[in-house]
Amino acid sequence: MVGEERECISIHVGQAGVQIGNACWELYCLEHGIQPDGHMPSDKLMGASDDSFNTFFSETGAGKHVPRAVFVDLEPTVVGTGSGFTSLLMERLSVDYGKKSKLEFAIYPAPQTNLVPYPRIHFPLVTYAPVISAERAYHEQISVAEITNACFEPANQMVKCDPRNGKYMACCMLYRGDVVPKDVNAAIATIKTKRSIQFVDWCPTGFKVGINYQPPTVVPGGDLAKVQRAVCMLSNTTAIAEAWARLDHKFDLMYAKRAFVHWYVGEGMEEGEFSEAREDLAALEKDYEEVGLDTVEGEEGLEEY
């Protein structure tokens, strides 16, 4: 019986998107034993029952595995940022392929049970542990408890914000390597007792856990150490609103001087669209503030109106 096809197409846009995408595909090839020329060694193919790599790779008639990926950049040199092309592309894809699922990983300058309880609160914060060099790995304890705790520290986050200033709505912990459920449950139980880590009162047990027993793969010659276990956490926390506040502040400073506005107006945009976008981001901040309120606080707020 032929299994249902499931394919993911990766679109990498802009200088940062292309460079990070290139690093990702190098790692994907190492994960599945695919060589730089696209061929998979015969010892990997013989008796291989796992064909999950076909989600990301397409096999040609010649036996080459080609990434299902597109790399796009409008500017051949390293100049400028934020042309808006990605936003336009995602908008068009939503129109043409409205029923297809899309995951967007946005890169922006720094000084982000159901993970999405409300439609607008859909910006998960990504955290990874351990982020450690080969030299330090010899002297560090990298237990399940240690890497789980590290996921709740600002230093391991991919977006600059302090989760201790917000409340969690849900956490998805994805472990790899030498990990047993007993250790995971114990680590999460300890996390729940910490006063510095708060959950919203309407979702106090919001942990989802996945374990892949294959050890983490690292790129040879890279900065990260080869470790026996690692964890990636996707969490929905109100603390990410700090990132929106910073964007608001930087936008206000630039828009007050109308910096670069003429370029966009010259391409057909209206100045009013900038104000609308600013108001929408302010509303998003407010949405995150409201979902972080305790149920009692929220009910009291409603009675005032």
Q: What is the CATH number of the domain that holds 141?
A: 3.30.1330.20
Q: Is residue 4 part of a domain?
A: no
Based on the fold, state whether residues 87 and 146 are members of the same structural domain: no
Domain limit, last residue, from 237, 252, 274: 237
What confidence category does residue 119 fall into, taking pLDDT thresholds of 50, 70 and 90?
low
CATH number for the domain harbouring residue 266: 1.10.287.600
Cα distance between residue 19 and residue 33, in whole Å: 21
Amino acid at 284: L
Q: Is residue 101 part of a domain?
A: no
Domain limit, last residue, from 56, 79, 96: 96
Cα distance between residue 86 and residue 102, in whole Å: 13
What confidence category does residue 302 fall into, taking pLDDT thresholds of 50, 70 and 90?
very low
Based on the fold, state whether residues 232 and 283 are members of the same structural domain: no
Point out the least confidently predicted range of 36-45, 77-86, 174-183, 184-193.
77-86
Based on the fold, state whether residues 165 and 266 are members of the same structural domain: no
Q: Is residue 107 part of a domain?
A: no
pLDDT digits (tens, 9 = 90+) for 264-286: 889 888 989 999 989 998 998 88
CB atoms within 10 A of CB 38: 16
What confidence category does residue 176 fall into, taking pLDDT thresholds of 50, 70 and 90?
very high
What's the pTM value of the predicted model, to 2 decimals?
0.65
Q: Is residue 116 part of a domain?
A: no
Checking if the pLDDT of 6 tops 70, the result is yes
Give the residue with greater pLDDT, 295 vs 29.
29
Q: Is residue 118 part of a domain?
A: no
Cα distance between residue 67 and residue 34, in whole Å: 11
pLDDT digits (tens, 9 = 90+) for 39-86: 887 766 555 566 778 889 998 888 889 999 999 887 766 545 556 778
Q: What is the mean pLDDT of the chain?
A: 82
Domain limit, last residue, from 218, 237, 256: 237
Based on the fold, state whether residues 131 and 229 are members of the same structural domain: yes
Based on the fold, state whether residues 227 and 142 are members of the same structural domain: yes
Based on the fold, state whether residues 233 and 148 are members of the same structural domain: yes
Q: At what angle do helices 271-291 and 241-256 cross, to 10 degrees?
A: 160
Based on the fold, state whether residues 214 and 161 are members of the same structural domain: yes
Q: Is residue 14 part of a domain?
A: yes
Point out the least confidently predicted range of 1-5, 87-91, 163-167, 234-238.
1-5
Q: How buried is 6 (Cβ within 10 angstroms: 0-12 exposed, 13-18 middle, 19+ buried)?
A: exposed
Based on the fold, state whether residues 75 and 148 are members of the same structural domain: no
What confidence category does residue 116 fall into, taking pLDDT thresholds of 50, 70 and 90?
low
- Token pair for 139: 């002297």
Checking if the pLDDT of 144 tops 80, the result is yes
Checking if the pLDDT of 258 tops 70, the result is yes
Structural domains in the chain (count): 3
Helix (H, G, I), strand (E, B) or coil at 57: strand
Q: Is residue 120 part of a domain?
A: no
Quick one: which H or E segment has residue 138? none
Checking if the pLDDT of 2 tops 50, the result is no
Q: What is the domain extent for residue 165? A: 125-237
Q: Is residue 103 part of a domain?
A: no
Cα distance between residue 122 and residue 117, in whole Å: 8
Checking if the pLDDT of 139 tops 60, the result is yes
pLDDT digits (tens, 9 = 90+) for 220-238: 888 888 899 999 999 989 9
Based on the fold, state whether residues 178 and 196 are members of the same structural domain: yes
Based on the fold, state whether residues 277 and 256 are members of the same structural domain: yes
Based on the fold, state whether residues 88 and 185 are members of the same structural domain: no
- Token pair for 24: 């990702």
Based on the fold, state whether residues 64 and 81 are members of the same structural domain: yes
Checking if the pLDDT of 296 tops 60, the result is no
